[in-house]
Amino acid sequence: MGLTIAQKIIKNHLVSGEMKVGEEIALRIDQTLTQDATGTMAYLEFESIGIERVRTKLSVAYIDHNTLQSGFENADDHRYIQSVAKKYGIRFSRPGNGICHQVHLERFGVPGMTLIGSDSHTPTAGGIGMLAMGAGGLDVAVAMGGGEYYITMPKMYKVNLTGKLQPWVSAKDVSLEILRILSVKGGVGAIIEWGGEGIKTLSVPERATITNMGTELGATTSIFPSDEITRAFLEAQGRGDAFVALESDPDAVYDRIIDIDLSSLKPLLACPHSPDNIKTAEELSHIKVDQVCIGSCTNSSLRDMLRVAKMLKGKKIDDSVSLSVSPGSKQVLSMLADCGALSDILGAGARVLECACGPCIGMGFSPNSAGVSLRTFNRNFEGRSGTKDGQVYLVSPEVAVASALTGYITDPRTLGTYEEIEMPDAFKIDDSAVLRPATPEEAKSVEVLRGPNIKPFPETKKLENRIEANLTLKVGDNITTDHIMPAGAKILPYRSNIPYLSKFCFAVCDESFAQRALEAKNSIIVGGSNYGQGSSREHAALVPLYLGVKAVVAKSFARIHAANLINAGILPLTFENPDDYDKCVQNTTLSLENVFEGMEKGRIILKSGNDEIPVVCSYTKRQIDILKAGGLLAYTKGE
Ligand code: MIC
Ligand code: SF4
């Protein structure tokens, strides 16, 4: 039987396990990346594992999230990451050099290799045929130390593209269309491979927009073949030698095949507050727009920015709209400056922000109260913009600019003639903002610099056979890690200070949760389906751990968050019968009996008053050992 692209890469990197859907497999990891909002914790974890130098082919530490330094905290974290990177053999991408996924695609990604990153949009590198996955910081720390990365062997989905995108319709619309078809949980447990004749019409940045947003489907990752288009991109980046061709076998078998005719797509928007709440621009053209933000790891390539500049050239944005543009990397910004496109953007009235995540993670540029904000980003979860009642729509750069010009949601097809943009044959190469680590000899004298904001890792305890706890919080479906552990400019600087962060845990849903959890000492959280979707932030598990959460019982879980819970020593459990969710009442006492035996058998009884509710789990032997030890760190250190 033939293999899919992902199966080929998995086969080449398989350390243990069988490539059967649902089985646990361990993969050798070639490259890792971290960003600063998850990186500080990941490097603290790496240091505590006690290895002298990273054992990957390449590890890069990016600074791109916490770049608003409104106090010493972020600067201290940057300095810590820089010094750790220097000491342990990790490249350090300085603040201003760009968003991790954009820079990694441009400068480091290699087709056919494996990459894990402490950021959920790591699959962006799937745009050049890399098997790239988001993971918790602790998993990345273990991989940096040469350890394997464990996943459940995914199902294989194929999206067959035919036709060609029509003028004013772009890769973002393909991402939104697949979200319309599959929803935010439709990709859970699957790898999505993109193929068909239509992919020949898509450049690498367009492919990367699509693999980037595969994360919003809950997919393990998304991947394109590595073909002549990939070769041309790598050559233009001066990295032609990294190219290897990669395609699926003609008789590869897929669990599901979805057909999309690119020619039939229209400009789309994801309406508040979920990336799968899709409508067409035509339908929404009556809505007044307050703010437009262009950038993020989804749409900040040179290609996107040249399109934006072309649309803005010689025009002025509407007086009522505030427009931000954040190019994805220093390479992009510098090339925009060199060709004059930056002047076109500035001349139209845009505010050019630095090459970083910025507004996407609520680091500045929050909309006005109840403001309508159109963003070329990938997530529009409630409150994520920093304005609780902000109404965020996800759009393509084309819809973003068209709407900034008119002040209303605008179908760009109404703008008239569409001009193709010309991409340069070669990108401008300047890697001087990526600092090289010390040699092993020099590393001995490199001092790791810690600031006062870095607090110790929360205390972990060995698992007990009987758990009695208060049901401190009951939530509904599709709870995101932004609900569990919000981000934004005010909170993000404390990512290395779990006690302080804990005050904000679940604040979007219930402001008194943290206090109640501390009072209860032991808590259980009950959730609906797709619990923990979104970001890879392990803080959404470490903070509950600090607050005494022992188990989360839900209808279903998102992949990375379930892994993070296990890594933190918290039991993720699923209702055997989803209707039992209704039997659980907030602020009652629950108990889990015979936990050890239940973990082995895959079924534990949850007692709630007189009800005996069966909850299930399918932990592997390794996961049981991790949970019993009180989490992955204790397990790895052999405590
Ligand atoms: C996000 O887009 O939500 C983030 C911020 O990049 C996160 C990582 C984090 O929370 O630090 C992600 O996607 O994993
Ligand atoms: Fe940064 Fe936004 Fe991309 Fe997350 S989704 S890495 S916050 S740009």
CATH number at residue 474: 3.20.19.10
303 C-alpha to ligand 1 centroid (Å): 24
Q: Hey, CA dihedral for 477, 174, 335, 119, is it positive or negative? A: positive
Contact 376, 316 (CB under 8 A): no
Contact 615, 606 (CB under 8 A): yes
Question: What's the whole-number average pLDDT of the chain?
Answer: 97
- Ligand 2 atom index nearest CA of 295: 8
Burial category of 14 from C-beta neighbours within 10 Å (exposed 0-12, middle 13-18, buried 19 and up)? middle
* 101 closest CA partner among 268, 275, 233, 295: 295
361 CB near ligand 1 (under 6 Å):
yes
pLDDT digits (tens, 9 = 90+) for 329-338: 999 999 999 9
Write the residue with the smallest CA distance to atom 5 of ligand 1: 361
CA distance 238 to 112: 18
Residue 635: which pLDDT band, with cuts at 50, 70 and 90?
very high
Residue 574, pLDDT score: 98
Cα distance from N-terminal residue to C-terminal residue, the chain: 44
Q: What is the pTM of this model?
A: 0.98
Residue 131, pLDDT score: 99
User: Looking at the structure, do residues 405 and 501 belong to the same domain, yes or no?
Assistant: no
Q: What is the mean pLDDT of residues 179-206?
A: 98
pLDDT digits (tens, 9 = 90+) for 33-85: 999 999 999 999 999 999 999 999 999 999 999 999 999 999 999 999 999 99
User: Looking at the structure, do residues 489 and 560 belong to the same domain, yes or no?
Assistant: yes
Beta pairing partners, 26: 16, 150
Distance of CA 283 to the CA centre of its chain: 29
CA distance 152 to 161: 27
229, pLDDT greater than 90: yes
User: Looking at the structure, do residues 398 and 335 belong to the same domain, yes or no?
Assistant: yes
Residue 350, pLDDT score: 98
User: Looking at the structure, do residues 511 and 368 belong to the same domain, yes or no?
Assistant: no
38 CB near ligand 1 (under 6 Å):
yes
Does residue 140 sit in helix, strand or coil?
helix
**DSSP notation for 336-399:** HHHHTHHHHHHHTTPEEPPSS-GGGGTSS-PPPTT-EEEESSS---TTTTS-TT-EEEE--HHH
Domain membership flag for residue 129: no
CA distance 408 to 402: 9
**Percent of the chain predicted with pLDDT > 90:** 97
Domain membership flag for residue 525: yes
* 204 closest CA partner among 171, 163, 178: 171
Q: How many domains does the chain divide into?
A: 2
Domain around 505: 467-637
pLDDT digits (tens, 9 = 90+) for 160-192: 999 999 999 999 999 999 999 999 999 999 999
Write down the number of H helices and E strands in the chain. Answer: 21, 27
94 phi, psi to nearest 5 deg: -65, 155
Residue 1, pLDDT score: 87
**DSSP notation for 129-173:** T-EEEE--HHHHHHHHTT--EEEEPPEEEEEEEES-PPTT--HHH
Contact 214, 123 (CB under 8 A): yes
User: Looking at the structure, do residues 273 and 411 belong to the same domain, yes or no?
Assistant: yes
Write the residue with the smallest CA distance to atom 2 of ligand 1: 535
User: Looking at the structure, do residues 485 and 630 belong to the same domain, yes or no?
Assistant: yes
Write the residue with the smallest CA distance to atom 2 of ligand 2: 360
360 CB near ligand 2 (under 6 Å):
yes
User: Looking at the structure, do residues 277 and 411 belong to the same domain, yes or no?
Assistant: yes
User: Looking at the structure, do residues 405 and 518 belong to the same domain, yes or no?
Assistant: no
* 126 closest CA partner among 196, 35, 193, 45: 193
Q: Tokens 């090459």 identify what position?
A: 355
* Domain CATH for 295: 3.30.499.10
Domain membership flag for residue 4: no
User: Looking at the structure, do residues 506 and 605 belong to the same domain, yes or no?
Assistant: yes
pLDDT digits (tens, 9 = 90+) for 465-477: 999 999 999 999 9
Parallel, antiparallel, or unpaired for β 549-554 and 523-526? Answer: parallel
Residue 459, pLDDT score: 83
For a ligand 1 pocket test, name from 33, 34, 41, 65 the mutation site with the most ligand atoms within 8 angstroms of its C-beta: 65
CA distance 409 to 400: 8
Last residue of a domain, one of 415, 449, 476: 415
Residue 460: which pLDDT band, with cuts at 50, 70 and 90?
confident
For a ligand 2 pocket test, name from 377, 384, 385 the mutation site with the most ligand atoms within 8 angstroms of its C-beta: 377
639, pLDDT greater than 80: no
**DSSP notation for 435-457:** EPPPPHHHHTTPPP---TT--PP
